Amino acid sequence: MELPLSIKNLIDAFSQLPTVGRKTAERFVFYLLQQDQKTLDDFSLAVKNVKQKITKCEVCGCVSEASPCPICAASRRDPATICVVGNTRDLITIENTAAYQGRYHVLGGLIDSIKAVTPEQLNVKGLTRRLPGKVREIILALSPTFEGEATALYLTKLLKNYNLKITRLARGLPSGADLQYADAITIKNALENRK
């Protein structure tokens, strides 16, 4: 039996999501078919709102419902330290440790020669605009992958003339792993033992 076109289209749409294969997409669709209309309406509204109500913070670049974001707007955060991360998920991962009380800067990705992601496509200019003034330390909290290392090297060279202390997360994080999958204790130790 051939699946109805609307089901096929939804399976195709779910299949476009990262790490979602065709079988998982089919499970999602058939699960949704079993739900009542209110649940489907709530799901649809949540998907719609994620694009309509989310913006990027004008200061740090993280996704938020307001600009500046709650972290940038918080006066209790230390403005002398900026933790540079690749994406908002990494920011949330570090924030969940409660070990860091400074500010953040989200690059919006990492330098990647295979995917043709260059420094010009990242939020690097936003970082350099923030440096004059109170900033004394930049923490490069980038995933220890090839792309993370390339980005850290680029930023270290770029920032060397700004008279800042530039630190990296300690090597408690395994090479080749994404920061978002590390546990809170490992990240906390990496932050506390940075060099």
Give the pLDDT confidence score for residue 57 in this predicted structure. Answer: 96
Give the pLDDT confidence score for residue 195 in this predicted structure. Answer: 67
- In degrees and rounded to multiples of 5, residue 89 shows phi and psi of -60, -40
pLDDT along the chain (195 residues), means of 10: 93 96 97 97 94 94 95 96 97 95 97 91 95 92 92 96 90 74 80 74
Amino acid at 118: T
Give the pLDDT confidence score for residue 66 in this predicted structure. Answer: 94
d(CA 144, CA 146): 7
Q: pTM (2 decimals)? A: 0.79
Enumerate the H helices of 64-164 as residue ranges.
Answer: 70-73, 88-95, 124-130, 146-159
Give the pLDDT confidence score for residue 69 in this predicted structure. Answer: 96
List, in order of start, the domains of the chain with CATH numbers.
Answer: 5-52 (1.10.8.420), 73-192 (3.40.1360.10)
Per DSSP, the three-state class of 35 is coil
